[in-house]
Each structure stands twice: as structure tokens, then as C-alpha cells.
Amino acid sequence: MQRTDEILKIKDLHTAFRINDRYYDAVDGVSLTLKRNEILAIVGESGCGKSTLATSIIGLYDQSKTRVQGEILYKTQNLVSLNEDHLNEIRGSEIGMIFQDPLSSLNPLMRVGDQIEEGLIYHTKLSSEERKKRVLELLQQVGIQNPERVARQFPHQLSGGMRQRVIIAIAISCKPKILIADEPTTALDVTIQAQILDLLLALQQETGAGIILITHDLGVVAEVADRVVVMYAGEIIEEAPVREIFLHPKHPYTRSLFHSIPQMYSSSDRLNVIQGMVPSLTNLPRNGCRFASRIPWIRKEAHEKNPHLHEVAPNHFVRCTCWKEFHFNRGGNT
């Protein structure tokens, strides 16, 4: 039963960028699965490889500068080894993508209706009239009040929230099985963000798609996700169901992050600061626990030599063993 629910399976994915004739892994051995009807949140700070992971799945990387190894299995096909033509058949129809900046991902010279129709032309056999009807249906589905008018408008005539709705309409136009949302609400105001998140949830219940939600906003994750993957320096460092990870975070990085957020309903005077900086791609520590240098007050023996993901509770995975000894460094870090 469980097996059939899995719609995407990533096995040991390495995505490397070429810098000065050497390849550096930005995504370093990531394995994960996405189930039907599930919202999987991928969380991490900038540079942790979360967006790279998304572009690897959908094949939107610069071929000449990127090397992708590993397996991304979708319906028995390995997306990594597919050529551009085959990928084009899947992109947009089976896997939809929602980008962060709604203005720069829409064509400014094309009417909104035509942009939504584009995907239908490529991926469906609908007649021109049926397509027009479907476009209006989609606009209605994403909560746009007067679809006929909006379909004739250009992107610059719409507000940010409306543009993001259009992007979502494009992404779901061919009823994809997988939806990848890369920071879908980061550019929006909180009230609009709440509307867009509610919309995503409603659409998911309707279509049963699996959604990969990439974000750095832990509030958004807490509101909508089912399962959470935390990434740091190209690796998954913790993976758990949403309640588990928010109530019992284990990895030092996850715990530090939670303590860094200024929260509405708690009032500690000082926020936790993670010592040091996120290492850049070219000098990532590739051996041992990658977070070790940022928690130097934890003794070295606490870390594993080759940190693996361990199942510490049902469906709760944590990399390395340092979480057992981790405690916050009170006072001593400025």
C-alpha cells in the first residue's frame, strides 16, 4: 500500500557546479521520497542547496556548468538521464513549478490568458475553444473573481498576489502529479501569503498532488507542511513529520534555527545566534559533521566520523550523533 503512494523517489542525488574547472557538490547525497497528497517542506538558509535540489528535479539547470548524478525516479523513469525532449513532456504536464518572483517568471509581453494556454497547447489535445474554457476555469479555481477580464490583461496590470495566482494557475493547468513550489510566498505580504497558502492547500485536496514546498520561513512550514526536511550545506540533516520536528527538534542546527526566530507570543530578550558563518560552496567541510565548526563547545568525540541519518523516533531521522550532547552555549558567544 505504502509503496504505491510514493510518486517521486530521489536516491543519492549529487548536483555539482563547475567553478574554476572543478566540480563542487551543492546538493551532496540527498535521498528523499514524496508521497501522494503530501506537502513536503524543504527548509534551510540561503546556500544550503534547497533550490538547487528543485531545479535538479525539473531539469532547469545550466547543462554546461552543472553535473547531476544519482537517481530521481518518477514512474520508473530516471529524470536525471532523460534527454531534453523527454523531459519537456514531463515538465509542465506531470511536474509543475511555482517560482518565487511572480513578475520575472511571467512573460511581460504576453496576455495572462495566453500564457496559461501555452502549457495546454503543448501537453493536451484540447481544441482552441476547449482551451479557452479551461483557462477561465483555472483562473476561477485560483480565486480570481473576474477571469474573463484578467485573461486579457498583461502581468504588469496585476498585483503581486494576483500574479502569483496566475503562476499557480499555469503550474496546475495540466493537473500535475507533483508541484514544486520554490519560495512561493516570500515576495508577498502576510495577508496575501495566507490566501496563497490556503489556496495551495485547497488545490492539493482537490487534485491529490504531492507538493514540494521550498522555503526558509518556518512559520509557513508550521502552517501547511506534513513532513519537513531540513538541509544544511547540501545535506539533509533532519527529517521528520511536522509535529515531531517542531515539538522535538533534535539536530543542533534545527534547534538553533528555532531559537533564532523572534516569535510573536514569547518574549525572550535575546535571540539565539549561530556562531560563525555558512561555509561557501568551494570550502565546504566534506568530511565529518558539517555543523561541527559552528558548535565548537561540543566535544569532538560527540560527532560521528562519517555522519549518517539515524532513525531516532518513528519516521524521524537525524544526521550525526552530536545532538545527544548538544546544549546551547549560554552567554559565551558574541
Partner 1 sequence: MSFMVIQDLKVHYPVRGGIFNQVVDYVYAVDGVSMEFESGKAYGLVGESGCGKSTTGKAIVGLEKITSGRVIYEGINVTNKRNNRKSTFNREVQMIFQDAHSSLNPRKRVRDIIAEPIHNFLKLSPKEEERKICELLEIVGMPEDVKYKYPHEFSGGQKQRLGIARAIATNPKLIIADEPVSALDISVQAQILNFMKDIQNEFGLSYLFISHDLGVVKHMCDYISIMYKGRFVETGTKFDIYNNPQHIYTKRLLSAIPQVTPIGRERRKRERIKVENDYREQYKNYFDEKERVLDLIPITSTHNVAALPKGVI
Site for partner 1 in 69-108 (CB under 8 A): none
CB 133 within 8 A of CB 81: no
Residues 158-177 binding partner 1 (CB under 8 A) are: 160
325 near partner 1, judged by CB under 8 A: no
C-alpha to C-alpha distance for 61 and 284, rounded to whole angstroms: 21
Q: Determine the Cα–Cα distance for residues 238 and 252; give it in Å rounded to an integer.
A: 10
Exactly one of 173, 193, 204, 254 binds partner 1 (CB under 8 A); that residue is 193
Q: Which stretch binds partner 1 (CB under 8 A): 9-17, 49-57, 72-80, 220-228?
A: 220-228
Question: For residue 278, what is its C-alpha cell?
Answer: 555558512
Is 223 one of the binding residues for partner 1 (CB under 8 A)? yes
Q: Is residue 263 close enough to count as binding partner 1 by CB under 8 A?
A: yes
Largest Cα span, the chain = 68
Q: Which is nearer to partner 1, 301 or 331 (CB)?
A: 331
Decide: helix, strand or coil at residue 23: strand
Q: Site size for partner 1, by CB under 8 A?
A: 43
Q: Which of 260, 282, 293, 315 binds partner 1 (CB under 8 A)?
A: 260
- Report how far apart, in Å, the C-alpha atoms of 282 and of each of 62, 65, 279, 312 are: 18, 15, 8, 32
DSSP strands (E only) in 44-131:
66-74, 77-78, 95-98
- The H-or-E segment that residue 243 falls in is helix 242-247
Segment interacting with partner 1, rule: CB under 8 A, options 31-39, 241-249, 285-293, 300-308: 241-249
**Taking contact as CB under 8 A, which single stretch among the options 74-82, 120-128, 138-146, 184-192 is the one that binds partner 1?**
184-192
Residue ranges in contact with partner 1 by CB under 8 A: 45-46, 160, 189-194, 197-198, 216-220, 222-225, 242-243, 246-247, 256-258, 260-265, 267, 269-274, 277-278, 334
